[in-house]
């Protein structure tokens, strides 16, 4: 019963965090939307159609053409989609160059969705922190579903990384009292999911995490 209650608490905490981030996103959108409407009204009141066209093409069209959130529509789980949405907003706030590709409909997971969100959340947070401190500020996320679900997260980085030690508790390039996240990821996979493989590699200045989830 205690283990069950702990699991329920973790699930509630994860979903609460996702919902809070989505509420923040909606609030920001409503604020921006109101500003846009009032600005457009000002141009119309002055009958300044040419300036309105320039504003619309420069700011609105370019913003929504490059919106990575639109690409998440192929992900059919609301929890995972909400998590990715909240992370994208944070990436944008730190001016990280983010590329997302969802190559097929993602609707079969072969892993508890809460555990998947915990794993992906930790990997994305680590990629965020490393990219933010790097020169290129680049993160790429690719989701592919065929015989297995493959999620690849790649990011630029500058600090030296010892791949053989990154999953050890306490190891971190971020200073003292860090290094918990990847150890938690390893614990989740090792204890519950023999069908899940996380492969870590480095190519030139890119740090890559490949998550493979096979059918059980």
Q: How many CA atoms lie within 13 A of 54 on its CB side?
A: 5
Per-residue pLDDT of 135-181, as tens digits, reads 999 999 999 998 899 999 999 988 766 655 566 654 454 544 334 56
pLDDT at 121: 93
pLDDT at 93: 85
d(CA 149, CA 111): 10
Over residues 75-79, mean pLDDT: 89
Q: Considering only the top CATH level, what class is 68-216? A: alpha beta
Domain locations along the chain = 1-66, 68-216
pLDDT at 175: 47
pTM: 0.67
pLDDT at 82: 85
70 vs 99 pLDDT, higher one: 99
d(CA 52, CA 43): 6
pLDDT at 13: 64
Q: Where does the chain have alpha helices with state H? A: 2-45, 49-55, 62-65, 78-93, 113-132, 181-192
The first and second tokens of residue 24, run together, are 């923040």
The end-to-end CA distance of the chain, in Å, is 26
pLDDT above 70 coverage of the chain, percent: 65
Q: What is the band of 208 on the pLDDT scale with cuts at 50, 70, 90? A: very high
d(CA 14, CA 21): 11
Beta-bridged to residue 145, according to DSSP, are 149
Mean pLDDT of all residues belonging to the chain: 78
Q: Is the pLDDT of residue 97 over 50?
A: yes
pLDDT at 40: 67
pLDDT at 154: 96
Instruction: Of 70-74, 105-109, 132-136, 164-168, give the lowest mean pLDDT range.
Output: 164-168
């Amino acid at each position: 019963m205690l283990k069950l209650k702990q699991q329920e608490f973790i699930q509630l905490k994860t979903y609460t965090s996702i919902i809070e981030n989505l509420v923040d996103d909606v609030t920001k959108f409503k604020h921006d939307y109101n500003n846009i409407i009032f600005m457009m009204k000002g141009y119309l009141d002055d009958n300044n159609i040419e300036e309105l066209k320039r504003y619309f093409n420069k700011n609105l069209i370019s913003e929504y053409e490059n919106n990575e959130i639109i690409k998440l529509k192929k992900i059919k789980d609301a929890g995972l989609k909400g998590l990715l949405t909240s992370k994208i907003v944070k990436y944008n706030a730190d001016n990280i160059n983010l590329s997302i590709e969802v190559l097929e409909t993602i609707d079969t997971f072969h892993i508890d969705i809460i555990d998947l969100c915990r794993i992906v959340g930790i990997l994305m947070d680590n990629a965020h922190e490393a990219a933010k401190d790097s020169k290129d500020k680049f993160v790429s996320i690719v989701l592919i579903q065929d015989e297995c679900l493959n999620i690849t997260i790649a990011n630029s980085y500058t600090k030296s990384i010892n791949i053989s030690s990154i999953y050890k508790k306490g190891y971190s390039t971020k200073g003292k009292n860090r290094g918990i996240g990847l150890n938690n990821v390893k614990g989740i996979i090792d204890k519950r999911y023999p069908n899940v493989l996380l492969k870590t590699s480095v190519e030139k200045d890119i740090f890559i995490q490949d998550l493979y989830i096979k059918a059980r």
